[in-house]
Amino acid sequence: MTVPPSRPDADTTRTWLAQVRPESWPAPVSGSWDLVVIGGGTAGLVAAMGAAGLGARVALVERHRLGGDCLNTGCVPSKALLASAAVVRQARQALQFGIRVGAVEPEFPAIMARMRALRADMARHDGAARLAAAGVQVVFGDGRFTGPRTLQIGPATLQFRRALIATGTRPVVPPVPGLAALEPLTTDTLFDLQACPARLLVIGAGPAGCEMAQAFAAFGSAVTLVEVAPQVLPREDPEASAVLAEALVAEGVTLALGARLTSATRGFADRPHEVRWHTDGKETVWTGDAVLVAAGRVPNLEPLDLPAAGVKVDGARLRVDDRLRTSNRRIFAAGDVASPWRFTHAADATARLVVQNALFFGRRSVARLVVPRCTWTDPEIAHVGVGHDQAARAGLETVTVSLADVDRAVLDGATPAGRTAGFVRLHHRRGRLTGATIVGPHAGDLIAQLSRHLQADGTLGALSATLAPYPAYADALRRAGDAWQRSRLTPGVRRMFARYLTLWRWF
């Protein structure tokens, strides 16, 4: 990739690319391998490094850039932008904490340069040199199966005892008439921006859409967020989504929920994009400078020639069993390409499972994984286990604690006046945890505690007995346990205790 010399952070970009796609890397050579990994994202990297560390002969094939979506166009760059946006919000809210500051003026080129510098620095962890030093044969190029045990890359043939497909996913643009012709931004191109769009339309209010809508609103864009579902974050508890929607609106984001896109066209010179949608039969016309599509992803499978290897698909997804084996028992799959959980930590977990099952005759089941998720907006929204709808259908009990009752949240200003407070909500069956939703600061960290608790088949009583240093946000978990304990104190139980204490006074 040639970097334009006018680019202000060209050196940073070269440093990044030198790690994830070196220009002078050796050409692939034929050979035989214990494990051939196709795809150098999180799942592929974890599997390759893990297998090589255990003594296996490993080759990793990457057609674009090592690090995959997480490093290059996903978690790393997006969270760097969210960190800058958080500083902007804190500065603008400083007076609420008794601190007066001057005008807050985000410098978008500097924000993006910081993000790219951080990405370039972190790239060494996923870089070709580190893999090679660990004993992994790194191969750049397009791989395709030529048989049940062979992969072709250019003139080279890689024979394998086992293979792992970890090719990830890519953004998809909805089939709205005219939308593709506008060449909208996706996460593949968003982080190349040099100037902040004055008017930005974000299509899709899932995690990526909500995170970037909030960030660009902080940077100064007039953001409109469009979603076909009736709430932001359609997978989440409706009350959790409502808290986030309130926060987005308070920060200047215009929400268009329940909106079905109908068309997109070129606008005027000062408003190059025009998008139309219908809400409750009413047409809305938006004109602005840039469109970001964050409306889903599809697996990268097309170049692989799966039929040649006897690998079957279900729709757009690989068909895998509970051990992540494909229909060819020598070929496994991990990460976004096969998993229902499209998260970096899930890709890591499924890769570790594959290494054990593929190379060491393991029988680990993907169904036993407990996978939490978090949307890193402000407030954060995290979830694990049974969700709101499932809990209602199964007749589970629910305990909710408002952050307005948690001292640390009040002291930190996490429950601003006039705004709905975040909360901790636990679903349980007779006191045994089945699922949780957390809305508020550090939700992503707190959900990890509940994930471990859920995996250990823990109870709400155990949460009640767990001490957290005061004042900590984790005190909300103890309060939820206490609330469940109080719910057990029925009038009958109370009368029993009263009789006991009456007798006790005689001794």
206 closest CA partner among 374, 370, 82: 374
The residue type found at 218 is A
Mean pLDDT of 451-460: 94
- The answer to whether residues 473 and 441 touch, using CB atoms and an 8 Å cutoff, is yes
d(CA 360, CA 34): 11
d(CA 74, CA 85): 16
Residues contacting 432, CB < 8 A, separation 6+ = 457, 458, 459, 460
Extract the runs of DSSP E, i.e. beta strands, from 308-395: 313-314, 317-318, 331-333, 373-375, 381-385
Q: Is 50 exceeded by the pLDDT of residue 455?
A: yes
Q: Is 80 exceeded by the pLDDT of residue 506?
A: no
115-140 exposure pattern, b = at least 16 Cβ within 10 A, e = fewer: bbbbbbebbeebbbebbeeeebbbbb
- Give residue 4's Cα distance to chain centre: 31
Give pLDDT, residue 204. Answer: 97
Per-residue pLDDT of 18-31, as tens digits, reads: 999 999 899 889 99
State phi, psi for 455 to the nearest 5 degrees.
-65, -30
Q: What pairing do the DSSP bridges indicate for beta strands 199-203 and 169-171? A: unpaired
Per 3-state DSSP, what percentage of the chain is helix, strand, and coil (rounded to 5)?
40, 25, 35
Q: Is 70 exceeded by the pLDDT of residue 426?
A: yes
pLDDT band of residue 419 (cuts 50, 70, 90) is confident
State the pTM of this model. 0.93
Give pLDDT, residue 495. Answer: 84
Extract the runs of DSSP E, i.e. beta strands, from 259-392: 260-268, 271-279, 282-288, 290-293, 297-299, 313-314, 317-318, 331-333, 373-375, 381-385
Tokens of 395: 């007749």
Give pLDDT, residue 208. Answer: 97
Per-residue pLDDT of 237-286, as tens digits, reads: 999 999 999 999 999 999 999 999 999 998 776 668 889 999 988 999 99
Give pLDDT, residue 4. Answer: 35
Q: How wide is the angle at C-alpha 416 spanned by C-alphas 415 and 421, nearest 5°?
A: 35
Give pLDDT, residue 492. Answer: 84
Give pLDDT, residue 451. Answer: 96
pLDDT band of residue 36 (cuts 50, 70, 90) is very high
d(CA 126, CA 103): 39
In order of start, what are the domains of the chain with their CATH numbers?
A: 10-171+298-368 (3.50.50.60), 180-295 (3.50.50.60), 379-487 (3.30.390.30)
Per-residue pLDDT of 98-154, as tens digits, reads: 999 989 999 999 999 999 999 999 999 999 999 999 999 999 999 999 999 999 999
- The answer to whether residues 138 and 128 touch, using CB atoms and an 8 Å cutoff, is yes
